[in-house]
Structure 1
Amino acid sequence: MAQLQQKKKPLRPRQKQARQPGLEYLMDPQPESGVIHTVHQPRLAGRVAMISGGDSGIGRAVALAFAAQGAQVAVLHLNEKRDADETVRLVKEAGADALAIAGDIGSEAFCKRAIAKVIQQWGRLDIVVNNAAAQHPQESLEDITEKQLERTFRTNVYGCFFLTKAALPHLKQGSSVINTTSVTAYRGSASLIDYSATKGAIVSFTRALAHSVVKKGIRVNAVAPGPIWTPLIPATFPEEKVETFGSDVPMGRAGQPNEVASCFVFLASAEASYMTGQVLHPNGGEIING
């Protein structure tokens, strides 16, 4: 037997127009058509953001983009102190406050400590960017050990869960969680099977969490970059692959981190106020139908 549908709550007065495309001046209430922000108004003014893997690559670019839009930024990193210190310096140079926190996001205890430090520093948290990731290529599924599988999931997936879980009590209406997934979540990668699986899990995590917190006014979205020139590339692939990395996408080149950062700024800002559970795809033109 079909389930009884709940009566929908009225959102506006009943109304009907007799012609198409219709007349806006007759509508009640009037559609909101004005700009959400102006060039003189930073998009993230007064906000506090935390970015895992914020020491370099996409994370650093996002930190600088957030700072340029008025946000204070906490940068989480594993042990890349020199890169993290440089990110903090650049953020401060841009006129924002910054904090670097070292530790392993695969540890729930560390994630709790990191959130506590941010709250102690600024008294609030508005934006969580789950960006840190690891990848370890193998030619075959048979070459992926239990240790590697656990390590990849602990960093890429557990880290998202632990950091967001610790942050949720401090997030409020208007807050935003943004997860970094990957084009490999949609088309896979023969040599990055476990990594691709984690990125697929992050897409599902994004969609499920978005439904879970939507009534609290918290938005959850993701960005799925294609080939981007970051330190993870020379740290992952052999020299000959690094040399041509990104050349197989329609644009014929790898993207730069600052070409991805604008997606995070948009999703964190009020301009994306009607978006949750969605994924943006800065990938050089690859069509993945996701």
Structure 2
Amino acid sequence: MNDKTLPPQHQQRQPGLEHAMQPEPIYLDEAYRPAGKLIDKVAIITGGDSGIGRAVAVHYALEGAKLALVYLNEDEDAQKTVDEVKRHGGEALALAGDVGDARFCQCVIDAVIGKWGRLDILINNAGEQHPRKDLSEMDEEQWQKTFRTNIFAMFQLTRAALPHLHSGASIINTSSVTAYKGNPMLIDYSSTKGAINSFTRSLSINLASRGVRVNGVAPGPIWTPLIPSTFSADKVAEFGAETPLGRPGQPAEVAPAYVYLASNDASYVTGQMLHVNGGSVVNG
């Protein structure tokens, strides 16, 4: 059986760069038909420069939302996303910084409120991973760094956003299939994703009386810059082959889940995870 799904490639830097990937990820299926589901909504998307974040941004722009794209330092990718948002009729603000820094998180909220005066949707999507073959290869610094970006940042930005989230608002957190299946090379990453699941469920109960819904998306193997920047070329070449569908997913195949959860179509949905993972049954 041919288990090759992509050209072998590896990027020597983290975060990875979308424009350096071959082939570049698909962030919009031209068959997508917007329906004005997010007209006049204001959304923050962390990790908004590329990958799932870019796909969500373009889909949200098509649905009528205004967007703050938060990213670390991938300026070229971020500018491409801003350009694509504008090309599809949207309005975007790009904000560079480390979401692991609570002060920067507050600056993001201040910038969004200062520009648009409101906040309706918070997409906690930023993440990092560092594969290791054995737990003994992982030091405390790596463990703390992964948790700082993947879950501490989520807590910090959500806490800063809460005073501006009112009834009808939506928080959507990016988890992963690894929270359910585990991954022998991503012990710290998988652990953070498990924490994200519990954070999502607990926060949804906490905020239900305020009318703020909290949900998550748990993608499977999606072709994003995270992949070539963290795995070897050989691993990348067979990425996604183990799924029932036998291939990696594209960001464009995940983004509609974020549209649904932010829209009024999901008005009775909170505390849930949507599994966009190529057919892996995880019963979670």
TM-score (norm 2): 0.88
Instruction: Please give the alpha-carbon distance, in whole angstroms, between the structure 1 residues aligned to 2:172 and 2:138.
Output: 29
Structure 2 alignment gaps of length 5 or more: 1-32
User: Corresponding residue for 1:282?
Assistant: 276
Unaligned regions of 5+ residues in structure 1, if any? Answer: 1-38
Distance 1:84 1:209 in 2: 30
Q: What corresponds to 1:64 in structure 2?
A: 58
Of the candidates 162, 166, 170, which is equivalent to residue 172 of structure 1? 166
1:182 pairs with 2:195: no
Query: Equivalent residue for 1:238?
Result: 232
Q: Which one-letter code corresponds to 2:76 in the other structure?
A: R
Question: Would you identify which runs of 4 or more consecutive aligned residues in structure 1 move more than 4 Å?
Answer: none
Give the whole-Å Cα distance in 2 for the aligned partners of 1:40 and 1:151: 38
Check 1:40–1:261 CA distance in 2 against 1; reply closer, same or farther (3 A cut): closer
Matched residues in 2 for 1:242 and 1:164: separation? 33
Q: Which residue among 68, 76, 91 is the counterpart of 1:74?
A: 68
Q: Deviations over 1:221-255 (max 9, x none)?
A: 00000000000000010001101100110000000
Q: Would you say 1:117 and 2:111 are equivalent positions?
A: yes
Aligned partners of 2:34 and 2:62 also within 8 Å: no
Residues in 2 aligned to 1:211 and 1:100: alpha-carbon distance in whole angstroms: 32
- Deviation at residue 141 of structure 1 after TM alignment: 1.1
Is 1:210 aligned to 2:204, yes or no?
Answer: yes
Bigger Cα Rg: 1
Structure 2 counterpart SS, 1:106: coil
Partners of 1:210 and 1:251 in 2: CA distance: 32
Aligned ranges for residues 75-90 of structure 1 at < 5 Å? 75-90=69-84
The one-letter code of the counterpart of 2:282 is: I
Aligned mates of 1:242, 1:140 — CA distance in 2:
20
TM-score by length of 1: 0.86
How many Å apart are 1:188 and its aligned residue?
A: 0.3
Letter in 2 for 1:186: Y
Q: Deviations over 1:172-229 (max 9, x none)?
A: 0000000000000001000000000000000000000001110000000000000000
Q: Give 1:127-276 correspondences, 5 Å limit.
A: 127-276=121-270
Post-superposition CA distance 1:117-147 (Å, at most 9, x none)? 0111111110000000000000111111000
Amino acid across the alignment from 2:245: M
> Identity over aligned residues, as a percent?
57
Aligned counterparts of 1:40 and 1:255: Cα–Cα separation in 2: 21
The one-letter amino acid of 2:188's match is D
Cα distance in 1 for residues equivalent to 2:175 and 2:138? 21
Structure 1 residue 40: Cα displacement: 8.3
Cα root mean square deviation, aligned: 0.9
